Structure 1
Amino acid sequence: MQPQHASPLTQSQTTGATEPPLIEQTIGAFFDTMVQRQPDHEALVSCHQGRRYTYAGLQAEARQLASALLRQGLVPGDRVGIWSHNNAEWVLMQLATAEVGLVLVNINPAYRTAEVEYALNKVGCRLLVTMARFKTSDYLGMLRELAPEWAHGQPGELVAQRLPHLSTVVWIDAPGKEPGAGVEEPGLLRFSDFLARGDAGDPRVAQVARTLKATDPINIQFTSGTTGFPKGATLTHRNILNNGLFIGECMRLTPADRLCIPVPLYHCFGMVLGNLACFTHGSTIVYPNDGFEPLSVLQAVQDEKCTGLHGVPTMFIAELDHPRFGEFDLSTLRTGIMAGSPCPTEVMKRVVRDMHLSEITIAYGMTETSPVSCQSSADTPLEKRVSTVGRVQPHLEIKIIDPETGAVVPVGERGEFCTRGYSVMHGYWGDLEKTREAIDADGWMHTGDLATMDAEGYVNIVGRIKDMVIRGGENIYPREIEEFLYRMPMVQDVQVVGVPDARYGEELCAWIIAKPGTVPTEDDIRAFCKGQIAHYKVPRYIRFVSEFPMTVTGKIQKFRMREATIEALGLTEAKTA
């Protein structure tokens, strides 16, 4: 699986293995083959819903849903949205849309009215499946605000001025958990009622499936841009099915594995590194809850005897530091993935030691590359697993280049990480200009991430090009400072950003979450740094906080930290000549 180098690399460019071969089937065709192989094997456990599916049972319900979608008048290529946290309906939509060539549009559950309006209109969604509400998010309320006309329309015949493409809204009903008054409107359908319109034996499902190709677009995921509107990364069956295959290979998944997935399905982490990694290996999916809650994860791992666990670093930190952590038997755990943001070395060591995740892997990628380009494997030495993101995945090429010249840099030097191969997206939906900015004429995806590569091909992500801080002419990489501060016993989590400075151009600001029971001071932090790192790397500003601004997937939003620091300290942007 991992690339083999006859001699040490001297330049930061390498190619992945060519085995096993790429899957050239659609997601539906491949899933059908897996069902034939093990129809009675457990495919899905949704703990919070109290639901279990065998592979055959999941296939039957997905086909019934696919039939209902076709009977609604949808045809291959039409866009269908899913606006929901984790549940069985989500994965049923993933399978059903793939089966009949509909493009599943993942809508971020954190979106509010203006954001969902933009997303639905950008790609022209014809049908939307949504939760009724979740915590403080009233999804149906937001849709009614956008389309008050629906209260007087008929399902399938809706025309709203602000959502002109969307004709059908299906809300996910939960027996015994009705969303309250006001949902019984003509323009809204219950998921259970919509599903009942379909027929698992509908011959049209198989007829349509035979017309599809692996290279057809099948999924749109909106990238969380820091400026401007999000872009719709468009992915094919071939993109995400193969990525799921190779991710599972690195984890050594088999039908005996049971993977706990607390990360959101709307993101590649959940639907590819989770769902598709399991389906390509006949493993069992376990959803502990609809949204992340550390106690339910620990409970699900114990009750379902999970062998794998996914998470971003902040999730693993929350689980490890939960007051009841020691009460749970996690001894069945073996593997999983920590990804989504830089993985602190000290957190990785605790996960291996205290959660029994001896074969946990690190994965790196981006939505536009389906998403994983590099991953460690179960036999990667621990020191490499805690200090790198592994090596190139099979059937991919990677290189690290000088952002200014485009030349490949020597091993050990920093540069922009680029990748090429089957995983590179089809493009940004309806945005050829942005697609060309991201993917060059030779097919290389330019990630904007700063990385280094060693002589064995292991890659280390050192930050974003735009995150690099230039203080008085010195290039400073926040990741290096963060890794150092993680060693301090009173620091639970830390993020470092650059803020403007009249004298030096930029200065460092550290946002720190203290370990429970400790009350570090700014002087404590600076004393820890003194004599250990260069003076210009010691943060000038230190803020103690209880949490970081982040996306629903756990990605830290450093630009928000920078903005908040500038506002709180009354700083002004440095002027350049």
Structure 2
Amino acid sequence: MTVKCASSRLLRVGGHNFQRLSRKSQIASWMHTSSWLRSSPSASESPELETEKKLSYHCEVGTTPLNNRTLGKCINRAAASSGDKVAYTFVESNRSFTFGEFREHVDRCAKGLLAAGLSKGDTLLIFAPNIPNWLLIFAACSKLGVVSASVHPAYSKPEFFNAIEKVKPKAIFIPDEFKTIKFYGNLCKWIPELATSSPGQLSSAQFPSIKTVIVESEKTLPGTVNMKEISQGGNADLEAAEAKVGCDDPLTVIFTSGTTGSAKAASLIHHGFINNCQIVTDIMVRTEDQPCIMNPLPLFHVFGLLSATIPILSDYRTIFPAIGYDQIAIMKSIQDYKCTRMTGSPTMFIDLINHPERSKYDMSSLVYCTMGGSICTTETRKLVEETFGCLSLTGYGSTETSTVCSLIRPDDPPEKRMVSVGRPLPHVEMKIADPETGVEVPCNETGEVWIRGFNIFNGYLGEEAKTKDVITPSRWYRSGDIGTMDDEGYFNIVGRLKDLIIRGGENIHPIDVEVELDSHPAVEESHVIGVPDKRLGEEVCAVIVLRDGAEASPEELRAYLKDKVAYFKIPKYFLFELDVPKTAIGKAQKNKMREAATKKLGL
């Protein structure tokens, strides 16, 4: 699925660059003046025939009613119906759970959280990679009505602080450390009161909401509650706590990049997320004897979380190959566990296809490969099918649509499967709209993708204006993406109204990096753009104008950014001698800059 991003100053579609005007006037201008977007009716075509054209609106009929279950109730049902079947295997952590064991661990964890003082309405921030306790904490929170909020484990201090300010958590869960990331050490630097506080009694001047830091560690760390203590449970009345949680309560908060450069906190409810998972499960017709999902996606990403939740609704087994991204671990786990499905970004599949050791592993068990997170080209889909001998299934969605809103079906014809992002999910409406009026444009003509249904998010926490900007009074979600719909209800995404760079599925807003680069004493101004990359789709490039007499090298600027932005936002390319084209009012023209940078870099 092509995950939506925030609005921008620049759009690149079909090899064309467009300077951003206002959000509405720009789309309207493209639709009514660009012949390559909107073809004029022939002179012989009468107005009556023009009005009879089918409009770009489709609502998929649902044969299965939506349900009102919470995630906690789904966990209980799975344990009752498939208790002895293996649900999850974390390969690197050497830990597996049957559905029955998973419920037992989740229930103990939930009681431990109650004993630690958390209750319905509180928020717990998960700041960790793909470890088993990530999933247990998330599931335990869902039973209590505690809202989980997850962030990228590579977040820098400013990015982490933005998340804290948005969700105001009462508790934080971290591992002690992972590879080069010292979670506890960083937290002690960022929240200095932690190291001297009593467990569960943190009193931070900057973040007064935070009371408890839960840490996974073999050591006793000052100021923290150990996860082992939480996992022991307690005597709290879990049944009473669960009874207070309903399907319309918030389930989780997932951060998505925003137009200001700071991540927005998108709130998802049980009803939208659970039904989204259930419908996706129903669409993926089971053809395997023993369905087994390979999920290398990060759990803090909505696509990874959906893939991790599907087993609870389907009794599929899910394999997490490694704590971090590890291509060898993915291939070996597919072979060892005979995975029948893999979910991942296009970049992940390209990495496996191009890996020099791929031939050493037997991945012939794969039946489906489901791609999402960034644009999936026809070339990539064909490569996946030819390499793995399976069907490639692509969809479209975003955090704000609880992950998926349209999806290719396994029985869709190749001409649809290789080009489109499928039809809407059952019970979901989608249309291609004139953004000025909200009225659907004729089929095969271009406009903005709008979505409405059970899966639309609640809004951005603390940002009412931004929520109103994307959700209309009639509850249509305005994606900001440009697309088309054919007369059979299949959608295609042709571009985006974003200044965002999508690097291997990671959303990067240039402002995040530009602000930090501009603070360097040698930098007069910086302009961060996306340039083409065969593997990642886009790579980050910084055009730097140095102050008179100043010097700076790419290595120096990368080192300067290291602790200021997440590693994946650090530019691969630095150009110091590229002219910066500007308008008459001094506004940098990133469309021309991208073309010049692409040419200079030989991409």
Shorter-chain TM-score: which interval? 0.7 to 0.9
User: Matches of residues 539-550 of structure 1 in structure 2 within 5 Å?
Assistant: none
- Report the alpha carbon displacement of residue 249 of structure 1 after superposing the two structures with TM: 1.9
1:197-212 to structure 2, matched below 5 A, reads 198-199=233-234, 202=235, 204-212=237-245
2: CA distance between counterparts of 1:512 and 1:71?
50
- The yes-or-no answer on 1:64 pairing with 2:108 is yes
Residue range with higher mean Cα deviation, 256-265 or 109-118: 109-118
* Residue number in structure 2 paired with 1:465: 497
Q: Report the Cα distance in structure 1 between the residues aligned to 2:110 and 2:174, rounded to whole angstroms.
A: 17
Structure with more contact order per residue of length (Cα contacts < 8 Å, sep ≥ 6): 2
CA 1:567–1:189: 2 relative to 1, 3 Å = farther
Give the aligned residue type for 1:333.
Answer: L
For 1:6-155, list aligned pairs within 5 A: 10-155=54-199
- C-alpha distance in 2 between matches for 1:251 and 1:336: 11
- State how far apart, in whole Å, the 1-side matches of 2:318 and 2:135 are: 10
Q: Please report how far the alpha carbon of residue 191 of structure 1 lies from its aligned counterpart in structure 2 after TM superposition.
A: 1.5
Equivalent position to 2:221, from 185, 198, 202: 185
* Equivalence for 1:235: 268
Aligned residues of 1:339 and 1:364 also touching (Cα < 8 A): yes
Shift of 1:250: 2.3
Alignment of 1:25-424 (within 5 A): 25-173=69-217, 184-196=220-232, 198-199=233-234, 202=235, 204-225=237-258, 227-253=260-286, 256-272=290-306, 274-358=307-391, 360-424=392-456
| Deviations, residues 243-272 of structure 1 (Å, cap 9, x unaligned) | 111122222258931101001110111111
Structure 1 residue aligned with 2:465: 433
Q: Distance in 1 between matches of 2:351 and 2:363?
A: 15
Could you say what the CA RMSD is over the residues aligned between the two structures, in angstroms?
3.0
Looking at structure 1, the residues matched to 404 and 438 of structure 2 have their Cα atoms a distance apart, in angstroms, of 23
How far off is 1:100 after superposition? 1.0
3-state SS, counterpart of residue 137 of structure 2: helix
Does the 8 A contact of 1:255 with 1:283 survive in 2? no
Structure 1: distance between partners of 2:441 and 2:432: 6
- Conservation of the 8 A alpha-carbon contact between 1:260 and 1:285: yes
**SS at 1:97's partner residue?**
helix
C-alpha distance 185-379 of structure 1, shift in aligned 2 (>3 A): same
Identity of aligned residues (%): 31
Q: Give 1:568 deviation, angstroms.
A: 5.5
Shift of 1:121: 2.6
Q: Please give the alpha-carbon distance, in whole angstroms, between the structure 1 residues aligned to 2:175 and 2:65.
A: 38
Would the alpha carbon gap of residues 565 and 401 (structure 1) be closer, same or farther in structure 2, given more than 3 Å must change?
Answer: farther
Task: Specify the code of the residue in structure 2 equivalent to 1:445.
Answer: Y
Q: Report the alpha carbon displacement of residue 467 of structure 1 after superposing the two structures with TM.
A: 5.8
SS at match of 1:280: helix
Q: Quote the offset at 1:116 in angstroms.
A: 1.1
In the alignment, structure 1 residue 444 sits paired with structure 2 residue 453: no
CA contact (8 A) 1:341 1:556 kept: no
Deviation string for 1:403-447 (max 9, x for gaps)? Answer: 334321111111110100100011111222211111010000001
Please tell me whether residue 511 in structure 1 is matched to residue 540 in structure 2: no
Residues 570 and 188 (structure 1 numbering): CA distance in 2 closer, same or farther, change over 3 Å?
A: farther
What is aligned with 2:25? Answer: none
Q: Which moved further from structure 2: 235-244 or 16-25? A: 16-25
In 2: Cα distance, 1:555 partner to 1:279 partner: 33
Pick closer, same or farther for the CA change 1:204–1:378 going to 2, 3 Å.
Answer: same
> How far off its partner does 1:226 sit?
5.2
Separation of aligned partners in 1, 2:439 and 2:577: 41
8 Å Cα contact 2:350-2:535 kept in structure 1: no
Label 1:39 to 1:263 Cα distance change in 2 as closer, same or farther (>3 A): same
Structure 1 range deviating more: 29-38 or 42-51: 29-38
Alpha-carbon distance between aligned partners in 2 of 1:185 and 1:286, rounded to the nearest angstrom: 31
Displacement of 1:353 after TM fit?
A: 1.8
Change (3 A) 1:255 1:284: farther
Q: Which residue of 2 aligns with 1:505?
A: none
Contact 2:347 2:535 in 1 (8 A): no
Paired residue type of 2:470:
A
Judged with a 3 Å threshold, the aligned counterparts in structure 2 of structure 1 residues 9 and 392 are, in CA distance, closer, same or farther, namely: farther
Residue deviations 1:354-398, cap 9 Å, x none?
Answer: 11322x311210101101110001111222112011000011101
**Partners in 2 of 1:100 and 1:36 — Cα distance?**
20
2:579 aligns with one of 566, 570, 576: 570
- Counterpart amino acid of residue 571 in structure 1: V
Distance 1:211 1:362, change over 3 A: same
Alignment CA distance shift 1:556-1:215 (3 Å): same
Distance in 1 (CA, whole Å) between partners of 2:72 and 2:413 is 36
Cα contact 2:420–2:490 (8 A) shared by 1: yes
Farther-moved stretch of structure 1 (376-385 vs 78-87)? 376-385
Check the 8 A contact 1:257/1:306 in 2, yes or no. yes
The C-alpha deviation readout for 1:448-475, integer Å capped at 9, x for no partner, is 011111111110111112369xxxxxxx
Give how far 1:571 is off. 1.5
1:146 and 1:162, CA in 2 relative to 1: closer, same or farther beyond 3 A? farther
Structure 1 residue 163, shift from structure 2 partner = 2.3
Shift in alpha-carbon separation, 1:356–1:165, aligned structure 2, 3 A: same
| Cα distance, 1:149–1:344 mapped onto 2, change above 3 Å | same
Distance 2:289 2:150 in 1: 28
How far apart are the structure 2 equivalents of 1:19 and 1:322?
Answer: 42
Relative distance call for 1:338 and 1:234 in structure 2 (3 A) is: same
Give yes or no for contact 1:231–1:429 (8 Å, CA) kept in 2.
Answer: yes
